Structure 1
Amino acid sequence: MRLSTLLCLLMLVVTLAIFSRTASFDFINFDDPGYVTTNSVVKSGLHASSVAWAFQSAAMSNWHPLTWLSHMADVQLFGLKPAGHHLTSVVLHTVSALLLFLLLVRITGMQWRSLVVTALFALHPMHTESVAWVAERKDVLSGLFWHLTLLMYVVYVQRPKLWRYLATMVCFALGLMAKPMLVTLPVVLLILDWWPLNRFRRNEGDTTAAVQTARHLFLEKIPFFLLSLLSSVTTIYVQQHGGAVQSLEKVQFGLRIANVFLAYVRYLIAMFWPHDMAILYPFPTEIIMWQLTGSVLLLIVISVAVFSFRRRLPYLATGWLWFVVTLLPVIGLIQVGGQSHADRYTYLPFTGLSILAVWGVSDACKSLAQRTKVLATLSVLTIAVCAALTWQQLGYWRNNITLYRHTLAVTNNNYLILNNYGIALNQEYGDVDGALAAYQEALRVWPKSALTRNNLGTMYLAKGRFTEALEQFREAARLDPGEPMVRINTGRTLAKMGRLGEAAEQFEAALKQDPAATDAHLQLALLLIKTGRTSEARSHYEAMQKLEPSSARGPLTIAVELASAGLVGDADEYFRQAMALEPNSPDVNFNMGVFLAKQNRRDEAAQCFYRVLQLKPDSLMAKNWLRTIGK
């Protein structure tokens, strides 16, 4: 076996070893709930109805059925223990790296250069987010099909057969069903036709033949472009209807255009100097002109330079175009989400820069007497630094608190992360005051945030400051009148204040806005139970259970509310319903443990808290309760 192959295997083992660290990491509260932990369909595992849902759903403002199926498969295999979910992503990433190595060797014949490019893909710290974040399963899954599609295309080009062409298209379609960012792949196929496949240049001496060759290559890609078009239209439709696409009113088009140039340069810098990496970089509210001017000039200079050398050094054009083109769907012309750029968006584009850099440095060192030793030393040092930085960056992804504290330390005015940090402080540590402070800081950064107003209101509600909570919810409703959750929280507050009729009106208004608003059904059921109208309450409870048939959220919420109202017998019944639905849920076990502890049923309570620690070993709240009950 050749040395390069052995080193490739070693690199894959190192990749597995480094990223397997995520097996001890938690889920995080940024998108992981929507994709896995609170998604009742995903939590039910793989079965006929969940598979049908995967192909019909626009949840999380995306149509990516293959991604949904992969999450369901994880639940089927590992339940809601995060280790299995993390390790699946690690394996997919590692297999994707292997496919990239096989692809590069096949199209270039350069094993050593291919190995270095592959190692940069596998171990670059900017790719940490795609692998460590469960919600970004779509990155590693689509990346695997991206590389498989390219590999199948090369097999087809080298030995043309219809079945190979069709197999390439199937792989591409599967990749689009994992993440629509792959829509640029037909253009990348044409780029590879230029170099290293050299399909455009076979008839350069004959103008007529050259034109015919170019026409043939473009026609060959039409089915791929049609798939890309279909995926793009579907994605834009789903994201607009899901509210993910920011309006021009929120993000001015001129600001978007300016950020495009800045983002490209930030990605360039991050390739060669990855630092201060964060889960979210806030979108700028203003542009510094010298930075914009410098970014535009730098991109023009690089583009002119690589195309000036497109014949002598064709890999420069291929690497640069790969980078520029693959970033286009996420560069921000259509603004999705609140980020200016994102580490996860580099997962595939950085391969282009790696090709440009590795081939460029190798050729630049041709005249050196000790060329092989110099290149080997430089490669080993670069990969070692990348591995060390990736190991360090992975540490921040251990849980919500470590991730958000790091993000807030390396970014400014990050009100979205302040919101998630507040949620984590409240849910994981019971730190209501800390959560309150985080929301107040988020509101200072962006006073027009309905999300922050809603979260701040929930903290005032938890502290019994009902008037202040009501003020925040009403302001949130003014800022975002179409959000049913704000009406639901307004109703919850009114119910706590004894204004039950007004509360019911809010819950009913929320259901008019969204008939599938499970929280509105749940809160109406609670309100009706408390007023003795159990038959009416049952209809809303059953409606919620139909919407979330496998979720313990309904019975758990009712159980907690009934327990706080002193209705111990009824609460016990609902706690047991919740436990029957989700026996491995940390939330169900923790809340039932608290309930049992307050009933002085210490042994039963201890069993619940020990179960929580099996599922979440870092749960301080479970440890504190065990100390409280003397266990």
Structure 2
Amino acid sequence: MTGLRRFWPMLPVITALLLFAPAVTFESVRWDDPQLVFENPRVTAFSPSIWWTYDPELYVPLTLTTYQIEYALVGPQPWLFHLTNILLHALNAALVFLLLKRLTGSQSAAAIAAALFAAHPLTIEAVAWISGRKELLWAAFALCSMLLYARTDARHVRTLLPSIGCMILATLAKPTALVIPFLLLTIDAATGRRIDQRVAVEKWPYVIVSIITGVIAFLGKEHAVGMLGPLDTLLLALRSVAHTAQHALAPIGLSTLYPVDPSGIRSAPALLAGAAVLLLAGAAWILRRRATLLGAGITFFLIALAPSLLAYQRSNEVALAADRYAYVPLVGLALVAAWGFTWMESRGKRAIVWIFGALAIALLAACTTLHLPVWHDTETLFRAALKTAPTSIVAKNNLAFRLLADGKLAEAEVLLSEALTANPRYADALVNLAAIRGRQGRLDEAESLLLQALSINPKHVNAHINLGGVALKHGDRLRARAEYEAALALQPGNPHALRLLQQME
């Protein structure tokens, strides 16, 4: 039995490392990775400006610092970035185990539940995508904050400082960590503390951090575009929760993108999904005393998911969900699983727990093994996305961009035409179509498309850069310089604009 006790803590870590090891060989994908890391002058030049600027609307200096270190070590080679993500996921699996063990008192139940978290296909996007680092980092520091909090008996500001410090680091990784005070209340509930005024008031240092984080996040998001009214936004949020819960229980039909038709938000299935979420929240409230850990796990899931529910409205496409946002909420569902395993163990059914746990881990591991290769490269990623979401204009545009880089102009043009038919004001697609027209020598059409893109989004850096290229082909060096300088004004240090200006000297 001593050997078995030593094995349990390693189970979630080994599961995470074995399942995600192939991702070390993956490429970076042209979906945020260039803008966030490999073509981000603040990262490539190790600039301290990451601490007082947004990315482009999130304040994530700690995440960018990790990219800076990796880029300084290996340059644009993606393997180290992927390796870091895998190691962070393994660390998080270990932290989930420690937290669940603390809350349930059962090492075996905690290990099996943490391994389920480590193996779950919903974690793939956060781990296999270099730009998913934000989720992994804030999860790690949030889990550390909760662990330190749970281990502190006399909860005064002085004794809570390590936990508060971890929360601050979590917010610097991603502002979503502002929900930590509410997650700590679920930890209180899980440990049997009565949630009264005293317990709430002792969270005031965390709340102050949350308020500051919220203000910073709001300043970065003030220009974000919302496409829906209040009622549709609420219904979309409820449906998003139901979608995530469904995929957590049955991870079938996973995709990089889940576009939704705004006109269908008030449909009968959508309303039923919303009702199911309200029932889930009601169940968590009812179970808060009868089955404390079960209620706490459900509540944790809902709270951790809440900040992402306003992130699905963009000027280009309304989305139902994103797998990466399920990363931390899955910890709540792992607590639910640990509660179930502990309940069965208390009734002498340990063998059943081990057998069921092994089967569940194997099933999730098989799903992850099958879905992980989708993230190998950009073309594979978005071809797979179009199979599950054939109407996604974002997938069509991103795949077209990859095909354009490979010289496959005809297929790229078809995809861009379809995207622009669905949304004629899709600036990125207009810029990419203009690039095709430029390669075809149809410069006047290219210029017209770029000007149209700038009328929709005056801050489109690539539109200015490409207009500069069109001007150069027309022999207008003054206008070309003006366009490159306009791009640099919008994004100081942009490597493409800088290189093109230097070539004009």
In the superposition, the TM-score normalised over structure 1's length comes to 0.74
1:445 Cα deviation after fit? 2.2
Distance 1:37 1:471 in 2: 30
Q: Deviations over 1:422-459 (max 9, x none)?
A: 111122x2222222222112112222212211211111
1:280 has 2:280 as partner: no
> Which deviates the most, 314-323 or 441-450?
441-450
Distance 2:380 2:465 in 1: 31
Distance 1:319 1:270 in 2: 17
Distance 1:162 1:237 in 2: 29
After superposition, where does 1:170-319 map in structure 2 within 5 Å? 170-195=165-190, 197-200=191-194, 214-240=196-222, 243=223, 245-247=224-226, 250-286=227-263, 287-319=265-297
1:346 Cα deviation after fit? 0.5
**Number of matched pairs:** 501
Q: What is aligned with 1:153?
A: 149
1:116 Cα deviation after fit? 1.9
Q: What is aligned with 1:42?
A: 43
| Letter in structure 1 aligned against 2:454 | A
Distance 1:290 1:130 in 2: 32
1:516 has 2:498 as partner: no
Q: Deviations over 1:470-511 (max 9, x none)?
A: 33223323333454543443343244245x2xx744763775
After superposition, where does 1:198-597 map in structure 2 within 5 Å? 198-200=192-194, 214-240=196-222, 243=223, 245-247=224-226, 250-286=227-263, 287-332=265-310, 335=313, 338=317, 339-360=319-340, 363=343, 371-427=349-405, 429-483=406-460, 485-498=462-475, 500=476, 504-505=478-479, 508=482, 511=485, 516-517=489-490, 547=493, 551=495, 554-555=498-499
Q: Is the 8 A contact 1:152 1:164 kept in 2?
A: no
Q: Is the 8 A contact 2:70 2:81 kept in 1?
A: yes
Identity %: 26
Q: Is the 8 A contact 2:96 2:331 kept in 1?
A: no
Q: Using a 3 Å threshold, how does the CA distance of structure 1 residues 558 and 445 change in structure 2: closer, same or farther?
A: farther
Distance 1:361 1:114 in 2: 8
Q: Using a 3 Å threshold, how does the CA distance of structure 1 residues 405 and 515 change in structure 2: closer, same or farther?
A: closer
Q: Is the 8 A contact 2:37 2:67 kept in 1?
A: yes
Q: Is the 8 A contact 1:261 1:296 kept in 2?
A: yes
1:92 Cα deviation after fit? 1.1
1:362 Cα deviation after fit? 5.3
Q: What is aligned with 1:66?
A: 62
Q: Using a 3 Å threshold, how does the CA distance of structure 1 residues 128 and 333 change in structure 2: closer, same or farther?
A: closer
Which secondary structure state, in structure 1, belongs to the residue aligned with residue 424 of structure 2? coil
Q: What is aligned with 1:135?
A: 131
Q: Using a 3 Å threshold, how does the CA distance of structure 1 residues 215 and 383 change in structure 2: closer, same or farther?
A: same
Which secondary structure state, in structure 1, belongs to the residue aligned with residue 288 of structure 2? coil
* Structure 1 residues without counterparts, runs of 5 or longer: 202-213, 519-543, 563-569, 571-631
Distance 1:83 1:389 in 2: 23
Give RMSD over aligned pairs: 2.6
Q: What is aligned with 1:582?
A: none
Distance 2:278 2:82 in 1: 40
1:466 Cα deviation after fit? 1.8
| Letter in structure 2 aligned against 1:470 | E
Q: What is aligned with 2:27?
A: 26
| Letter in structure 2 aligned against 1:279 | T
Which secondary structure state, in structure 1, belongs to the residue aligned with residue 321 of structure 2? coil
Q: Using a 3 Å threshold, how does the CA distance of structure 1 residues 77 and 307 change in structure 2: closer, same or farther?
A: same
Which secondary structure state, in structure 1, belongs to the residue aligned with residue 489 of structure 2? coil
After superposition, where does 1:595-610 map in structure 2 within 5 Å? none
| Letter in structure 1 aligned against 2:395 | I
Q: What is aligned with 2:106?
A: 110
Distance 2:28 2:321 in 1: 23
Q: Using a 3 Å threshold, how does the CA distance of structure 1 residues 484 and 75 change in structure 2: closer, same or farther?
A: closer
2:89 corresponds, among 93, 108, 113, to 93
Q: Is the 8 A contact 2:157 2:205 kept in 1?
A: no
Q: Is the 8 A contact 1:15 1:94 kept in 2?
A: yes
1:83 has 2:79 as partner: yes
Q: Is the 8 A contact 1:487 1:507 kept in 2?
A: no
1:192 Cα deviation after fit? 1.4
Distance 2:290 2:3 in 1: 30
Q: Is the 8 A contact 1:18 1:391 kept in 2?
A: yes
Q: Is the 8 A contact 2:16 2:93 kept in 1?
A: no
Which secondary structure state, in structure 1, belongs to the residue aligned with residue 70 of structure 2? helix
Which secondary structure state, in structure 1, belongs to the residue aligned with residue 181 of structure 2? helix
Q: Is the 8 A contact 1:67 1:141 kept in 2?
A: yes
Q: Deviations over 1:345-389 (max 9, x none)?
A: 01011121222244236537876xx83232221111111111111
Q: Deviations over 1:380-415 (max 9, x none)?
A: 111111111111111001100111110111113211
Distance 1:234 1:300 in 2: 31
Q: Is the 8 A contact 1:193 1:200 kept in 2?
A: yes
Distance 2:488 2:94 in 1: 47
Distance 1:557 1:440 in 2: 32
Q: Using a 3 Å threshold, how does the CA distance of structure 1 residues 20 and 402 change in structure 2: closer, same or farther?
A: same
| Letter in structure 2 aligned against 1:72 | Q
Q: Using a 3 Å threshold, how does the CA distance of structure 1 residues 73 and 509 change in structure 2: closer, same or farther?
A: closer
Q: Is the 8 A contact 2:459 2:490 kept in 1?
A: no
| Letter in structure 2 aligned against 1:268 | A
Distance 2:375 2:187 in 1: 36
Q: Is the 8 A contact 2:155 2:202 kept in 1?
A: no
Distance 1:555 1:480 in 2: 24
Q: Is the 8 A contact 1:484 1:511 kept in 2?
A: no
RCO higher in structure (CA 8 A, sep ≥6) = 2
Distance 1:384 1:348 in 2: 21
Which secondary structure state, in structure 1, belongs to the residue aligned with residue 254 of structure 2? coil
Which secondary structure state, in structure 2, belongs to the residue aligned with residue 417 of structure 1? helix
1:125 corresponds, among 121, 125, 132, to 121
Higher Cα radius of gyration: 1
